[in-house]
Amino acid sequence: MTTEISIDNSKLPGVREVVRDFGVLEDHTLAHTLQEQEIEHHLATNIQRNRLVKHDLKVAKQLQEEEDLQAQARLKNQHVELELLDGEIAQEIQEKLVIEAERRRRQEEKDERELQNIIVTVYPGVRGFQIKLELHGMSK
């Protein structure tokens, strides 16, 4: 039992229409394929660019950290050098103060001896008086 279906050829599209419709369908399929390829290429490019940016950022961060460490080391070295220089300057000042104090002490002793010599020369009896003052702690 086969059933025959009758087809009205007058309602069927012509060959040109079928070719045209097939061409439109092919164009649509090709356009869709090209669009998907473009999207995939764009996404792949974005992924590659993002990886490159991440890598560049990582490298830049490492370089910045190295520069920061170098700057800290230079600053620490400068502080150490400054402390050493301050110590040397303080030592020189201290030595000069000691030398100056010794020079003043000697000068005072010399001046005192000269004064005593002058007093003894001018007032010979004062020598005994000066010795008494020294014994009682009243003289320098």
* Annotated domain spans of the chain: 15-104
Distance CA 71, CA 65 (A): 10
Position with higher pLDDT, 127 vs 55: 55
| Helix (H) or strand (E) run with residue 3 in it | none
Task: List, in sequence order, the alpha helices (H) in the chain.
Answer: 15-122, 126-135
pTM over 0.85: no
Instruction: Please determine, for residue 55, whether its predicted confidence score (pLDDT) is greater than 70.
Output: yes
Q: What is the pLDDT of residue 40?
A: 96
Q: What is the pLDDT of residue 138?
A: 54
For 78-117, how does the pLDDT look when each residue is reduced to its tens digit (9 = 90+)? 999 999 999 999 999 999 999 999 999 999 999 988 888 8
For 6-44, how does the pLDDT look when each residue is reduced to its tens digit (9 = 90+)? 776 677 777 788 888 888 889 899 999 999 999 999 999
Distance CA 140, CA 105 (A): 12
